[in-house]
Chains A and B, each alone.
Chain A
Amino acid sequence: MTERIVIVGGGTGGTVLANRLADRLEPELDSDDVEIVLVNDGDEQFYKPAYLYVPFGKKDVSEATKPLADLLPRDVEFWNARVTEVDTDAEQVVLDNHRGLAYDHLVLATGANLVPEEVPGLVEGGHHFYGPEGAEALRDELAEFREGHLVLSVIGVPHMCPAAPVEFVLMVDDWLRKRGRREDVELTYTYPIQRAHGLQSVADWVAPIFEERGINLETFFNVESVDPDSRVLHTMEGKEMDYDLLVGIPPHDGSDLVREAGLGEDGWVEVDGTTLEAEHAEDVYAVGDIADVPTSKAGSVAHYEAGTVADRIASRVRGQTPTATYDGKTVCFIETGMDEATFVDFEYGSEPTMRDPSKPIHWAKLGYNESYWLTARGLI
């Protein structure tokens, strides 16, 4: 009987996993002992890190999009459908055409969803660069922004790509300076906890850079509502802040699929952080942003997690005891302006070492963005 592996989600985690599995299980796929089905709601993948560059006119949204068919091997069956239910007792997922798809191994890679509507006034009063439309709208707004108070507020936690808000504010500082507009723009960065970033080492590194560049830092700042008419932020701590242009990192949510399946009450799949196996069901895994692990929601995490899950499933298919584990490896580039960058790498329980920014690291980031599609195809 053919053993079926079902992957739900065609983002970084889903496509890296599909490619790795197809590679690891090539003989079993050839002999029809195994089949791999990837289900995604839509037939394209979006490379979200590229959206950071859109507001500055450095990238176009279309560059961040590829057909999934170009990213998946021939051995993997692709279904363009929406999963409406995960039934871990019956070991099947239900699709929007009411058809059930049984699985022997299920991997959820459904990513994170933006829910700006959770903060009253944010949809009307704020901009962001976490999606294609948002990034384009911010590009148009920034192009016309000559003077006033630009506030970047990290509103939702956890959020995708924890470095991106720091990158944006350092990039916009440089971008405005290069256009002679910086003197007429006050720049403020706000963060929910008592420092500028969740990682202590990043916070310690960036605070003096903010000071040197005249970027205000407001901490313990948790936006509760936005008044789009008078352009005022109101916080859980009882503070108020006026703004002229708000870049608000919106709240993120996991998935109702996860809640309704009993896999995680907050919408993120509760997993063992080293095996990525779901804590509340058998033969279910999660990779990428949907997995509740104590590290960043970042593409590199999805990439490394997918490799671990591919190895573990391949071992199970072959009747072997899985030994592959994920150690929390996370790698993030951090742009520090329009032409310099640094990068951090760390594992569970460790803090990154900060390196001086340089042009070659910036070029490496741009180069990686171009070659990302090879990662999605499991090649690098």
Chain B
Amino acid sequence: MSESISPDVVVDSRGATCPGPLMDLIGKIKKVDPDTVIELQTSDNGSRSDVPEWIDEAGHEMLDVVEHDDYWSLYVKTTT
């Protein structure tokens, strides 16, 4: 499935420890329109649980998580 996702915006948070990839994602979501597909690139293992938890809380859509050699791509679609 992930092979077919082409994000509108890429947030590269690889290497981020503080304030963290989730905060980078939230900052980006504040600035984009609804129905924007965002790829969050993160090397922080915790993002794989933090991000879906917040996405669920905020009512956005978690599309996919793809594992690469040294980071993950989390695909999110904004709904509001």
Contacts and interface: CB of A to CB of B under 8 A. Distances in A.
Interface of B: 13, 15-20, 22-23, 26-27, 29-30, 46, 50, 53-54, 57-59, 80
Interface in A302-350: 348-350
A222 B15 contact: no
Nearest to A297: B19
Interface residues of A, number: 24
Interface in A106-148: 118
Contact of B29 (A198, A236, A296, A349): A236
A353 to B, nearest CB: 15
20 contacts: A157-B23, A157-B26, A157-B27, A158-B23, A158-B27, A193-B50, A194-B50, A194-B53, A198-B23, A200-B46, A220-B54, A236-B30, A236-B58, A236-B80, A237-B57, A237-B59, A294-B16, A294-B17, A348-B15, A349-B15
Q: Which of B19, B53, B58, B59 has the most CB of A within 10 A?
A: B19
Contacts of B58: 220, 222, 236-238
B19 A220 contact: no
Given A193-B54, A194-B54, A236 B18 contact: no
A273 interface: yes
B2 to A, nearest CB: 24
B22 to A, nearest CB: 5
A193 B18 contact: no
Given A220-B54, A220-B57, A193 B15 contact: no
Given A200-B46, A237-B59, 11 more contacts: A162-B18, A192-B23, A193-B20, A193-B23, A193-B26, A194-B22, A194-B53, A198-B23, A220-B53, A296-B18, A350-B17
